[in-house]
Amino acid sequence: MNLLFVADPLESFKIYKDTTFAMMREAQRRGHTIAACEPVDLVWQRGGVVQSQVRRIRLTGAQDAWFVQEVSEVAPLHSFDAIVMRKDPPFDSEFFYATHLLEQAEREGAKVFNKPRALRDHPEKLAILEFPQHIGPTLVTRSAAAIRAFHAEHQDIILKPLDGMGGMGIFRVREDGLNLGGIIETLNRDGAQSVMVQKFLPAIAQGDKRVLVIGGKPVPYCLARIPQGGEVRGNLAAGGKGVAQPLSDADRAIAEHLGPILAARGLLLVGLDVIGDKLTEINVTSPTCFQEISDQTGCDVAALFIDALEQAAR
């Protein structure tokens, strides 16, 4: 297959842990050709099709100069057998616009994974609202009074912005309510910005688990991201320790319920965040943790993904 990865700049990859790199490596191992571009490279003009300046690359196997660029050229997106959208968050206006260009490319014959419309329809914090049976007490609001009432009811709460990533902007407020007013002002901006508030789940001490679902089926191992040094956040970007472990019965039940539903909507790869037995987020933009799980368990997650991509692109 002729594959195009829409991603962040190749020079920014940390290949020892990067999931997109793991996908590329497995694809090349199977004989597929690889090209890459960034969302900024996507172009459409009336009378033409969506195209991009793409870099056709070959992976070298080295740690530093990990790829060589064989050619840079303008190519129509529909000329590729599959396009893998792997731009990291934030899901800002430019990401939103990129999904519209990719959706136009679909109308022209391109096959894009995850589907652009599905990316727009599943904001990573809010997508859990569809599945209330799997989540803990949760509030989404722009009202400071509603946040205070939620805290009065549940006492120990987590507050986070809807557009955060990597644990950014997450606060815990305990029973004493210390700094609740200041945190509300910071996140809520006098009612201008919505906030997600959730009851604190003590099971975070055992890890914020990333459960990967590929082609509607759960990967048999997850990565428990365990907070370190008094942190409330388990995110690896916030210093959490990643420990791979088999799925629990609750992990598997959540993944087997959501997996087929999300796959039918065009979400080939999903990362479910689970604390204890509660779903906290549904990650669809560029779910990670392939290499951490593979390195610790021997389960080749990238191979599972390329299997699913080959099947979906037929």
Residue bearing tokens 């916030």? 238
Number of Cβ within a 10 Å radius of residue 183: 19
**Is 233 one of the annotated active-site residues of the chain?**
yes
Of 86, 210, 251, 292, the active-site residue reads: 210
Task: Specify the 3-state DSSP secondary structure of 144.
Answer: helix
Extended beta strands in the chain, E state:
2-6, 33-37, 42-43, 51-59, 67-76, 82-85, 112-113, 138-141, 157-161, 171-173, 195-199, 208-214, 217-218, 221-226, 241-246, 269-275, 278-283
Of 18, 26, 273, 292, the active-site residue reads: 273
Alpha helices by DSSP H, listed for 113-230, are 116-121, 144-154, 180-188
**Is 70 one of the annotated active-site residues of the chain?**
no
Of 160, 199, 209, 278, the active-site residue reads: 160
Whole-angstrom distance, CA of residue 302 vs CA of residue 59: 15
Of 115, 199, 209, 233, the active-site residue reads: 233
**Is 172 one of the annotated active-site residues of the chain?**
no
Of 125, 199, 209, 278, the active-site residue reads: 125
**Is 235 one of the annotated active-site residues of the chain?**
no
Instruction: Report whether 34 contacts 114 (CB < 8 A).
Output: no
Beta strand 112-113 with 138-141 is: unpaired
Cα angle: 124, vertex 206, 129; to 5 degrees: 25
Tokens matching residue 270: 């999903």
**Is 148 one of the annotated active-site residues of the chain?**
no
**Is 142 one of the annotated active-site residues of the chain?**
no
211: Cβ–Cβ under 8 A, 6 or more apart, which residues? Answer: 218, 219, 222, 247, 251, 254, 255, 271, 272, 273, 274
Number of Cβ within a 10 Å radius of residue 29: 12
Beta strand 33-37 with 269-275 is: unpaired
Backbone phi and psi for residue 215, each to the nearest 5 degrees, phi listed first: 60, 30
**Is 160 one of the annotated active-site residues of the chain?**
yes
**Is 125 one of the annotated active-site residues of the chain?**
yes
- 114 cis-preceded (ω within 30 degrees of 0): yes
Residues with active-site annotation: 125, 160, 210, 225, 233, 273, 281, 283
